[in-house]
Structure formats: structure tokens, C-alpha cells
Amino acid sequence: MTGPKTKKLYPKPIRKIKYYDAEYHHTDEFITNDLEMAAQDIADIYKRRWQVELFFKWIKQNRKIKSFRGTSMNAVYSQIWVALIISVLLWICKAVDGILASAHQIIQMMKTTLLSKSSILELCAPKPPPTKIVSPQLLLVGFVWPIFF
């Protein structure tokens, strides 16, 4: 950003920070206008920010908000908060109760059984295989009728 056009658009001093991530074996580069903070602190902030970005990416992919019921800023925020709270509650249920179903599967089960009195554990419990009901007519198939003359 030392060119004449970029220097004119942003005249304040900036610095570039390189950070090597030993866990993933790659180097990240950050540009910041904070000249006071330590390089490690800035790298940590960006790393935490990336985790937040990944969380919101997951929210967008898994908590579909197809349309907003209200158009005011408060209504939109409220609906996003509700979606976040549902996600956290589902995560807690999965962790505490040991539910193996995915969050998407749990929500689908809850939608289909919305007015039933079943708990989430009952919905996610494995169903026993159905017992075979043997019809009395099927018992006669192997029966040999005596022949009387």
C-alpha cells in the first residue's frame, strides 16, 4: 500500500503481521492499523475471529431462516437470536443426553411430532424391531391333512 493511489486513499500508517500456525502448518498474514498491540495478540484475535466466522457459516447452512416475519432491525435480530438459541440448546441436548442424531435430524423429528407429548430422548431412541405376528392361517401351510377312505 505504498502506491500513490492507495497512499492517497488511506494515508495512515499500517503494518503487516506474519503468523506461522504450527497446528495447520501454514503462514497467515494480517494487515492492521493497530501499531501498539503485540503481533501475537493480533494473530490470536484473528484466529478467534475465524472461529466465529466458521460458527456463523454453520448457522447459515444449518439454521435456515427463509423469511423474516418482521422487517425492523429488532425483529431481524430477534429471529437470528432465536435460531442461535435453538442451535445451542440442541448442542446441549446432544452433549448431555448422548443423542447420536444430527441437529438437522432432531429438528426434522421435532417438526413432525410437534404436538405429541414425546421427549427428545424418546424421539431419538432406537426403535426395537417389530415383532412378527404369525397368522393362524400360516400355521396350516405345513399341515398334512389325513386322508380318510
Nearest Cα to Cα of residue 123 among 149, 87, 148, 90 = 90
User: What average pLDDT does the chain have?
Assistant: 78
Give the position of cell 423474516.
68
d(CA 12, CA 8): 9
Give the position of cell 493497530.
34
Domain ranges of the chain: 1-62, 71-122
pLDDT interval class at 136 (50, 70, 90): low
- Tell me the chain's radius of gyration from C-alpha atoms: 30
139 has a pLDDT exceeding 60: no
64 has a pLDDT exceeding 70: no
% of residues, the chain, pLDDT over 90: 3
Return the higher-pLDDT residue of 116 and 145: 116
Return the higher-pLDDT residue of 26 and 57: 26
